[in-house]
Amino acid sequence: MINLVVMEGDGIGPEITAATLEVLRAADAAFGLGLQFTPVMIGHASLRTHGTTLTDAAFEAACDADGVILGPVSHHEYPPVEKGGINPSGALRKRLDLYANIRPARSRPGIPPRCGVPVDLVIVRENTEGFYADRNMFIGSGEFMPTPDVALSVRKITRQGSTRIAEAAFELAKRRRKKLTVVHKANVLRVSENFFLDCVRAVGKAYPEVACEEVIVDAMAALLVRDASRYDVIVTTNMFGDILSDQASEIAGGLGLAASINHGAIYGVAQAQHGSAPDIAGQDRANPTSLIGSAAMLLAWLGDRRKDNRLLAAAAAIEAALDRALADPQGRTRDIGGSLGTKAFGARVAATLEPSAASR
């Protein structure tokens, strides 16, 4: 039995989560995975019911699960933390030590990439430190105002954080096209960025088969627009990774298609790259591709950890079903030129999931 905690989140979260669960149930039936889904309330619903967006019980449920499906959250609308407005996404990343945020950007059949060339790259983003104020301090926030006229932000880069994200990136590059690009800003942040680079270089000595290059972040933003097809795996610090992954996914076809997983040594959380889109919530208009793809990534992560070929095959079958659905203009959601709603798209992907296609 594999217990997946399901946190629907806010806005379009319940709709795209429902579509994702339909696909997962189809995969479960096809591959005999033994999936069990445990709903756990978070976000605005939890705030109304329990006075906090993330209860201790919700966090403990995530700890006890084999994996988590996390819908998008409207954390910008939450009250201050002291009034219960915890960002579930950031809190889970910090408290579960989900140090690796893996964000593929891949062109889908029938959907032209924005810049004219096919894209198939993965951004490996450090997820627990950097400039993120909610996760780089033991107590308090990494942002503070010593006077009414001065605002400061603390950036944390550690040897442990840099080394383990580099190891994750090199391991991934070794399984793909054996090319790694390290993105930095060492020409300006001379201490912290050079420290990060030194850690990555040290890890790289154990991976002589992986070609490694170093690119300054502003140049990287331009180079992705020029020709994203030349890149395979990109590793970088938290904020740069957040920005570049959105850019790369948009170039590949759009954020609505972009999957993502947050994982550490023990826990894994599937999470769409995009936000909660409250302006279209409840209208059956949201594209669930991102969360469906993220759920496939979670199955693949579990399959790698457990050496379970059924999970790996199920993940591949979901990806193949997404490709088939998206390749047909009539099989898409309205945001990318189709006519289907959220629920119908999820049903289409579930119905076209083929076990035999994943094993060929």
Cα dist from 171 to 125, 163, 196, 204, whole Å: 14, 12, 18, 10
**Where in the chain are all domains bearing CATH 3.40.718.10?**
1-98+258-360, 113-252
DSSP for 74-129? -GGGS--GGGT---HHHHHHHHTT--EEEEEEEPPTTS--TTSS--EEEEEEE-SS
Instruction: Say how far apart CA 245 and CA 133 lie, in whole Å.
Output: 20
* Catalytically annotated residues: 132, 185, 218, 242, 246
At 120-176, the pLDDT tens digits run: 999 999 999 998 888 788 888 899 999 999 999 999 999 999 999 999 999 999 999
Q: Mutual orientation of helices 342-351 and 289-306 as an angle, nearest 10°?
A: 40
pLDDT in tens, the chain (360 residues): 999 999 999 999 999 999 999 999 999 999 999 999 999 999 999 999 999 999 999 999 999 999 999 999 999 999 999 999 999 999 999 999 999 999 999 999 999 999 989 999 999 999 999 988 887 888 888 999 999 999 999 999 999 999 999 999 999 999 999 999 999 999 999 999 999 999 999 999 999 999 999 999 999 999 999 999 999 999 999 999 999 999 999 999 999 999 999 999 999 999 999 999 999 999 999 999 999 999 999 999 999 999 999 999 999 999 999 999 999 998 899 999 999 999 999 999 999 998 764 443
In whole angstroms, give the CA distance from residue 69 to residue 332.
23
The total of other beta-carbon atoms located within 10 Å of residue 191's CB is 9
For the record, the structure tokens of 27 come out as 């995969």
Residue 331 CA to residue 40 CA, distance in Å, equals 31
pLDDT at 315: 98
pTM attached to this predicted model? 0.94
To the question of domain 1-98+258-360 being in CATH 3.40.50.2000, the answer is no
**Phi, psi (deg, nearest 5) at residue 358:** -75, -25
Residue 6 three-state SS: strand
Place of tokens 């894994």: 268
Q: Dihedral of CA 164/166/167/169: which sign?
A: positive
Residue 185 near residue 217 (C-beta atoms within 8 A): yes
**CATH code for the domain defined by 113-252:** 3.40.718.10
**pLDDT by residue (tens digit) across 11-57?**
999 999 999 999 999 999 999 999 999 999 999 999 999 999 999 99
